Amino acid sequence: MGALFGYCGTAQPGLLERMAQLLKHRCRQGWEHCAVEQDTQRIEIGHGKNRINTAAQVIHTTQAALGYAGVFYHNSSSIQELLNRLKTGGAQVAENLEGAFVLAWSAGENFYLLRDAAGVKALYWAQTGQRLLFSSEIKALFADSQLDKKLRPAALAEYFTFSFVPGEGTMLEGVYELQPGTLLTFRNGQVSLRRWFNFEQWEWQAQDPHTTEDSVAQVRAALALSTEECLHTSAQTPGFFLSGGIDSSSVLAMAKHLHPQQTFPTFSVHFGTKYPHEQEFIDLMVRHCRTEHHLLEVRPQHFSDRLEEICWRLDDPIGDPVSMPNYLLAEFAAQHTPVVLNGEGGDPCFGGPKNIPMLLSHLYGSPGSEAADGWLERQYLHAFQRAYTDLTELLNQDIYKAIQGDKGLVALLQPFFHAAQPKHLLNKLMATNIRLKGANLILVKVEKMTAANGLLALPPLFSRRIIETSMRVPPHLKLEGATEKSILKRAVHDLVPRPIIERPKSGMRVPVHYWFQGELRRFARQRLSKQRIRRLGLFNPDYVQQIVNYDAVAVKGQRHGLKLWMLVTFMLWYEQFFNAH
């Protein structure tokens, strides 16, 4: 919901208006702006208005300007008071704010950008000469004609390995994503970055006196407060996205525990009874919490002609099929409420899936046939089960050689695995997943898909408080034997029905594997034709056709449906971004 955009530096008439036009889907309630001249530079900040806050979210004086998008918790100050506090207290004031927000302000000769601790709201930036551009979406940066539009080759390998582009880089050269808990300072035409939310410092130490009961109580208290904060962002009753898993069920159950007389609207999606689904667990939670439930059925005929629109709104390509039902469910939910709470965050913050294989890899080490250096990093890349093993066959060979194979992928992960803190491998994995998968996939995907529909999505399980609390929990309580997210399950054991607590992790299983053999088969063949792939020059046309044909021998690791989804959504994004707009 809403957007933040603008620039600092050399003035360019009409730039802010062009940015607003490219973000019109986020400015349905109109947009507001402020501007200030400072010596040789001009600052212009725009904000797409939202449905839950009618007060101004941009302000300027003769010497300073401020704008933000999103919501603050525990902040009763007016925007004028906030600007005054920032002018006197500096960046530390912004770093102490809690909520889901991105913030831009000036103070003296400095201009600042800041993203919230967890990264619930996204912000991108680029520089053209003496001008810093920033926006909630990449596309608006290119309202500045001086910014070159060029694909970053290494991002292709990243995208097809992770299904998203991790870290500060994006799919485009010279365009960066401000990372969570990070402050950007722009002064005299120079950019500097400082990560201020260093949650790794809170890692549990063996000498800490906490008992299991202490840890359970702390997690429960953190979830209760985090949920309450999200519930109070709107005067209207917020809704809940419900999947039937422990994460979304914990959030809903805690909200009902805090407000037993409240009837909350809930929203879920299904793909037809012939495909795997979670409906029995969703129905169980609906009955348990007595919600007003809304069920949305999604089939290819409901979205195939809208995939271009969805990919355009995703902005930086994301190849996770869940993005599509996220968008349609957000569109559906926005008809009933301006705010929804979701269960995002349980996996990265509490030791979710894929950690056990990583711990075993660490325990047994690399086999004699493989180099020990980079062993864990490569196992992490394999764990995503996307197209990491296919890169040599999938990518154009000149491109693969230019990006030096998987060296860049391993190098991207090494700072996380070699960091002095956290020390325990499970906590290293948690930190990596929070800072990469959480900030560059999970939260961004949901934010883009909901904001495009005028909806504010908040994740009580992915808050600053939850991250710090979980880092203080002993690793063996997060992953207890083979029980994932054990501490979370203990914390809500009396709130969530036992069948949901005891069930294994499933996740939203979008049936793309079946769709591309049936209802989407023709669509994939058209979008991924040899002629189209050859003309693009990025992929091996023959290998793409083997994926399209569901060749079980030639396609490494198979997972044809997921690979086709990544290819199709990338092609839709590329053709729109470089050709149509």
pLDDT of residue 558: 87
CA dist 433 and 188 (Å) reads 35
Tokens of 32: 């507001």
Q: C-alpha 306: how far from its chain's center? A: 21
Please enumerate in sequence order all residues whose Cβ is within 8 A of that of 519, keeping only pairs 6 or more positions apart, or say none.
299, 300, 301, 304
CA dist 207 and 212 (Å) reads 14
Within 184-235, where are the H helices?
Answer: 212-231
Burial 246-279 (b: 16+ CB within 10 A, else e): bbbbbbbbbbbbeeeeeebbbbbbbbeeeeebbe
Tokens of 360: 């075993």
Q: Which of 30-39, 180-189, 492-501 has the lowest mean pLDDT?
A: 30-39
pLDDT of residue 580: 55
Report the chain's terminal Cα–Cα distance, integer Å.
23
78-95: average pLDDT: 93
CA dist 140 and 121 (Å) reads 16
Please enumerate in sequence order all residues whose Cβ is within 8 A of that of 549, keeping only pairs 6 or more positions apart, or say none.
none
Within 232-333, where are the H helices?
Answer: 246-258, 279-289, 300-303, 307-314, 323-333
Please enumerate in sequence order all residues whose Cβ is within 8 A of that of 210, keeping only pairs 6 or more positions apart, or say none.
204, 218, 472, 474
CA dist 102 and 24 (Å) reads 18
Q: Are 197 and 120 in contact (CB under 8 A)?
A: no
CA dist 478 and 351 (Å) reads 6
pLDDT of residue 404: 81
Please check the confidence at residue 263 and state whether its pLDDT lies above 50.
yes
Q: Are 434 and 419 in contact (CB under 8 A)?
A: no
pLDDT tens per residue across span 497-526: 999 999 877 666 899 999 999 999 999 999
- Which residue's entry shows tokens 């050269």? 173
- Which residue's entry shows tokens 């990070």? 182
pLDDT tens per residue across span 152-201: 999 999 999 999 999 999 999 999 999 999 999 999 999 999 999 999 99
Establish how many alpha carbons lie within 13 A of residue 572's alpha carbon, considering only the half-sphere containing its beta carbon: 24
Q: Are 254 and 492 in contact (CB under 8 A)?
A: yes
3-state secondary structure 90-116: CHHHHHCCEEEEEEEEEECCEEEEEEC
Please check the confidence at residue 369 and state whether its pLDDT lies above 70.
no
pLDDT tens per residue across span 40-73: 789 999 999 988 877 889 999 988 999 999 999 9
CA-closest candidate to residue 64, choices 125, 18, 110:
110
Residue 70 identity (one-letter amino acid): G
The pair phi, psi for residue 18, each rounded to 5°, is -70, -35
pLDDT tens per residue across span 303-356: 999 999 999 999 999 999 999 999 999 999 999 999 999 999 999 999 877 788
H/E stretch holding 457 reads strand 456-458
Length of the chain: 581
Residue 35 identity (one-letter amino acid): A
pLDDT of residue 405: 80
pLDDT tens per residue across span 389-435: 999 999 999 898 888 888 999 999 999 999 999 999 999 999 999 99
CA dist 178 and 422 (Å) reads 22
DSSP state of 238: P
Question: Which residue ranges form the domains of the chain, and what is each CATH number?
Answer: 3-197 (3.60.20.10), 201-351+440-502 (3.40.50.620), 511-581 (no CATH)
Is the Cα dihedral 573, 575, 578, 581 positive or negative?
Answer: negative
Other Cβ atoms less than 10 A from the Cβ of 304: the count is: 15
Q: Which of 13-17, 396-400, 570-574 has the lowest mean pLDDT?
A: 396-400
Please check the confidence at residue 581 and state whether its pLDDT lies above 60.
no
pLDDT of residue 506: 67
pLDDT of residue 368: 63
Burial class (CB in 10 A: 0-12, 13-18, 19+), 149: middle
Residue that wins the pLDDT comparison between 363 and 148:
148
CA dist 534 and 537 (Å) reads 5
Tell me the average pLDDT of the chain.
93
3-state DSSP call for residue 399? helix
CA dist 336 and 456 (Å) reads 12
Q: C-alpha 32: how far from its chain's center? A: 26
Q: Are 126 and 5 in contact (CB under 8 A)?
A: no
